Structures are given as structure tokens and as C-alpha cells.
Amino acid sequence: MPGGGGLDLRSLLAAVEAAPPVAAVDVFAAELGDRLAAAEVTFLISDFNGSALVRLSHHGRAGGHRSLGADGAETVVLAGTPYEHVLRTQRLQVAHEEAGTRVLAPVTDRGDVIGVLEMLLPADPDRDTLDHIAAAAHALGYVVIVSRRFTDLFEWGQRSQPFSLAAEIQRRLLPTSLTCEGAQFTVAGAVEPAGNVGGDTFDYSLDRDTLHVSLTDAMGHEEEAALLASLLVASLRNSRRGGATLAGQAGQANSALLRHARTDQFVTGQLMRVDLGAGTAAIVNAGHPGPLRLRDGRVETIRLVADPPFGIVPDHGYRVQPLPLLPGDRLVFVTDGVLERNAATADIVGLVAGTGDLHPREVVQEVNRAVLRAVGGALRDDATVLCLDWFGGGERAREADAGANRDGASPPRPG
């Protein structure tokens, strides 16, 4: 096959820019397919819990365009499929079939899995063509990120089941991207809602020199818990964006709940701030279980002094505790739903110990899947997991980040 010379990303993106947001992926697939003479081009979007893909758009030279709606979407369970392998390795996969050559390319951005670009080509692609397809898949990630600000199409595609009102509120409280890779770290989180949605949330934000991370668990269930979580998360974001210290963020969140929540309502949680330049971390623990740390193959619970949950003690001064970090450390934060009594057979400590070679986005999914198996799918409380890999500073971290930006792969964990 010719060396991809007909594929010009500038003209491809210009065609997308001229299309309405709801048609952006369809236009991208059609233009890409025409340039490479592909028999089929399909975009499969990842669902929220990372266990399946939904065929959101399909372009075939014989059948034309087909945007898949609620009645026509095909859901592909990832486990044991080539799609899972592509997303796990972050590498293209090429398979020879009777009808042609099928190419699967990961669509990701800084470690956040968006989906898979699937193409059926008439002949074997050469290295140059595969490089162009990888670049196109990366560009498609940006197309989705930009376009989903204007339409519910992508949000719908990510929902493998209907959302309750409480789940809708909870979803809005989470970061737009559930995974982020940086030079010195990778962070990923996942929430598995209970049947009666609890108030679990996690959040992160990256400044020039600081990584902010939080994990919170509002008491109660359904809308009551979701609204309480909304108040807490909004307070944390407001004070963080206003430049408050870690203790200041905790104090303002506590005051917000005391002013606006009922006297019997509270939120447990942990707030962490990592100084990326110094390679140091500090944490506030508001009545929450301590995080797990995987270091040199061993898992231990980090013992923290417990301050009261947010919303209980007026004018409480929350303590900022040091959290020592070494390059290669993995921190795993969990909420009560992971630790509830009927989930004990999940052996979270053993599971974390065995995930040293997994990406953080896979770790959080593996832990939640183990909890679901342990409780027979009947969670009594939300199960939320947040995983932070710390690579440290210096040249090695910068090289890892540069490599991830070149080929879409995850930075390696220092050994």
C-alpha cells in the first residue's frame, strides 16, 4: 500500500472543523477512509467503567455513512478481545483477513482511554501508512474531546446502562478525563456506583508545579448524597482555584457543610497536594481509611492521623501531614464501598500487590471488578478507587513523558 502520502492531517481536520460537532466523527471517518481507500472505518467509544466499547460511527465505501443511534449501537465487551489488547498495550494491531487487512488503533489522550479506531484496508499497510493511522487516531482523540462540549452524542455512547438522577449528578462531579499522564506521575480513578448511588467522588487538577488530588465520600444515598457531594466538591474546587492552602481548602469545605448541610450530614475524605518540583507530598485526612502504598513489591497501609469528617466540628483546624514519596511508589486510595464487610474476599491488598505491571487506569478497574465479584454485583455503597503512580522528577521522567507523547504509550514505571 502507498506510504500514506495521501493522508494530510491538516486537510482532514479542516474537513472536521467545517462539520457540525454531532457529525465530526462521521466526517473524520469518511475523510480518513477515502484518503486510504479503506473499505470500512469505525470509531468505538469506551464506556464509563472501561469494560466495553460502543460502535458510535461507521463509514463503509459500499454502505456509506452510518451514525449509530440508541437502536443500532453494538456493544463490544472488551475482555479477551483484540480491542482490549490494543488499549492495554497502546499499540496498533494489524490482522490479515480474507477481506483485507484490519487495523486497530488506540484513541487516547494522556493515558485517558477514549476508544478505538478500526479500519479495514484493501492491502497490507507499510510502516509509513501505519504511522499516519496512529497519528490520525491521536488526532481523533482531540476531535472527540472538543466536539463533546457541544453535544450529548459521546456522553450517550459511553453509557452502557441508564443513569439515575443521582448518578447524573455524581458524573458531573468527576474530572472530564478519568486518567492523566504527566512527566512525574500518572493518576487514574474509577467510581462503581451502588444500586442506590452513594456520594463518592474523586478529583484532580494540575498546576505548573503542583498536583492536587482528592477522594471524598458523602454520607447517605441517591440525590441526598449527590447534593451533599456537590456542595463539598464545589467548595474544594473554589478554594483550590482561589489559591488556598491545603489546610485552607479543608477548612473552607468544613465551613461550607456546616453552613449549608443538615447537622447530621458529613463527608469523609482525603486531600493531597504533590509538589512536583520538590517531589514531596502532603495530605489532609478527614476521617477516611488510609491509602495503600505499593513500594518494592510490598503493600502497606499508610497510617494517618484522622481528623473529623467535614461538616461535624466548627472551626476545626485540619492537620496537614507529610506523605513520603519515592520514585516507583504507587498509592491507591479507596472509599468504604471497597472495604465493606461483604467485599472482604476481594483481598484488595493482595490485588494491589499483583498489579505492579498494570497502568493505573487498569488498576482501578481491576480493583472495582474484584469488589463487584466479591459482592455478587450487589454493592451496598459506591466503590471508588484512585491510583497515583509517582515516577519522581529529573531527566528520566521527562524522557518518559516525551516517549508517551510520541507514541501514545504510558510512561514506564521506574523499576
CATH number of the domain that 52 lies in? Answer: 3.30.450.40
Q: Report the CATH number at residue 205.
A: 3.60.40.10
pLDDT of residue 396: 42
Last residue of a domain, one of 124, 156, 188: 156
Same domain, 106 and 142: yes
pLDDT of residue 50: 82
Same domain, 75 and 200: no
Same domain, 313 and 185: yes
Q: How far apart are the first and last CA of the chain?
A: 40
Strand partners, 283: 272, 321
Residue 283 inside a domain? The answer is yes
The residue to which cell 459511553 is assigned: 158
Last residue of a domain, one of 101, 130, 156: 156
Residue 233 inside a domain? The answer is yes
Same domain, 193 and 98: no
Same domain, 46 and 185: no
Task: Answer yes or no: are the C-beta atoms of 127 and 135 closer than 8 Å.
Answer: no
Residue 415 inside a domain? The answer is no
In whole angstroms, give the CA distance from residue 273 to residue 322. Answer: 10
Same domain, 150 and 237: no
pLDDT of residue 404: 44
Residue 2 inside a domain? The answer is no
In whole angstroms, give the CA distance from residue 316 to residue 182. Answer: 34
pLDDT digits (tens, 9 = 90+) for 246-305: 999 999 999 999 999 999 999 999 999 999 999 999 999 999 999 999 999 999 999 999
Same domain, 205 and 117: no
Q: Do you know the residue count of the chain?
A: 415
Same domain, 124 and 193: no
Same domain, 130 and 230: no
The residue to which cell 491488598 is assigned: 349
The residue to which cell 463490544 is assigned: 76
Q: Across the chain, how many H-helices and E-strands are there?
A: 12, 18
Residue 394 inside a domain? The answer is yes
Residue 414 inside a domain? The answer is no
In whole angstroms, give the CA distance from residue 373 to residue 144. Answer: 33
Same domain, 132 and 169: no
Same domain, 365 and 249: yes
Last residue of a domain, one of 104, 124, 156: 156
Domain that holds residue 84: 9-156
Same domain, 261 and 350: yes
pLDDT of residue 63: 54
pLDDT tens over the chain, length 415 residues = 444 445 688 888 898 999 999 999 999 999 999 889 999 999 999 988 788 899 888 887 655 555 554 445 688 888 889 999 999 889 999 999 988 999 999 999 988 899 999 999 999 999 999 999 999 999 999 999 999 999 998 888 888 777 889 989 998 999 999 999 998 999 999 998 877 788 899 999 999 999 999 999 999 989 999 999 999 999 999 999 999 999 999 999 999 999 999 999 999 999 999 999 999 999 999 999 999 999 999 999 999 999 999 999 999 999 999 999 999 999 999 998 787 766 666 788 888 999 888 999 999 998 988 888 887 877 778 889 999 999 996 444 444 444 444 444 444 444 3
Task: Answer yes or no: are the C-beta atoms of 126 and 3 closer than 8 Å.
Answer: yes
Count CB-CB contacts under 10 A for residue 201. 30
Residue 67 inside a domain? The answer is yes
Could you give phi then psi for residue 341, rounded to 5 degrees?
-60, -45
Residue 267 inside a domain? The answer is yes
User: What's the structural domain count of the chain?
Assistant: 2
Give the containing element (helix H, strand E) for 120: strand 112-121
pLDDT of residue 250: 98
- Which residues fall within 8 angstroms of residue 51, CB to CB, at 6 or more apart? 77, 78, 79, 160, 365, 369
